[in-house]
Amino acid sequence: MAIFSVYVVNKAGGLIYQCDNYVPRTEVEKTFSFPLDVVLKLHDEKVVVSFGQRDGIRVGHAVLAINGVDVSGRCTAEGKDILEYLQEPSHYPLAIRFGRARLTSNEKLMLASMFHSLFAIGSQLSPEVGSSGIEMLETDVFKLHCFQTLTGKCVLPKCELFDQNLKSALEVAEKAGTFGPGS
């Protein structure tokens, strides 16, 4: 059981704290000759596979590195546009590493506010008076748990001590298996 991330969202739906605890990165590296046999496109400032899923490379995977050098969004380490770089035959053969890209700060903010909206809808639609809303969302690959303070209020965590105690609590929860498999 692994706890991937912790998000603290205020009552207005704003993300006030986020901690990545365990981020598995399924990555695939393959050497290509010119021309590429996968189709890449620019999506949210990342170069992603849009067609040609094979050998562990999936549609939606992002380009993470070229020839062992990490890329930054849509650019190579030298600042060149990845799509333009890959159209030059003289750069081949080359090794490209694909995988799930890390979430940007904006994507984390968006996820937190979307979850807050779902939580609010669940609270209002519940047939139970005073429902606490969504407690858990479950998919075939993960569970999302929602915990609320007893008062419904949260003090903005701003110190190193909070981070240390949170990480200790996460380690204890993982060892104890508190949330069950795949949480």
Confidence of residue 181 (pLDDT cuts 50, 70, 90): very low
Confidence of residue 39 (pLDDT cuts 50, 70, 90): very high
Whether residue 35 has a cis bond before it, omega within 30° of 0: yes
**pLDDT on residue 182:** 46
Share of the chain above pLDDT 70, in %: 89
Integer Cα distance of 71 and 76 in angstroms: 5
Q: Is the pLDDT of residue 135 over 70?
A: yes
**Residue 118 token pair:** 């779902």
Confidence of residue 73 (pLDDT cuts 50, 70, 90): confident
Higher pLDDT, 63 or 111: 63
Integer Cα distance of 146 and 134 in angstroms: 7
Higher pLDDT, 40 or 76: 40
- Kind of pairing, strands 94-99 and 62-66? antiparallel
Higher pLDDT, 162 or 93: 93
55: closest CA among 22, 19, 95? 95
Q: Is the pLDDT of residue 93 over 90?
A: yes
Q: Is the pLDDT of residue 110 over 70?
A: yes
Ordered domains of the chain (ranges, CATH): 5-23+104-176 (3.30.450.70), 27-99 (2.30.42.40)
Range in 24-28, 112-116, 136-140 the model is least confident about: 24-28
Q: What is the mean pLDDT of the chain?
A: 81
Confidence of residue 183 (pLDDT cuts 50, 70, 90): very low
66: closest CA among 35, 93, 102, 37? 93
Helix ranges (DSSP H) in 69-153: 82-86, 105-125
Burial of 147 (0-12, 13-18, 19+ CB in 10 A): exposed
Confidence of residue 84 (pLDDT cuts 50, 70, 90): very high
Q: Is the pLDDT of residue 86 over 50?
A: yes
Q: Is the pLDDT of residue 41 over 90?
A: yes
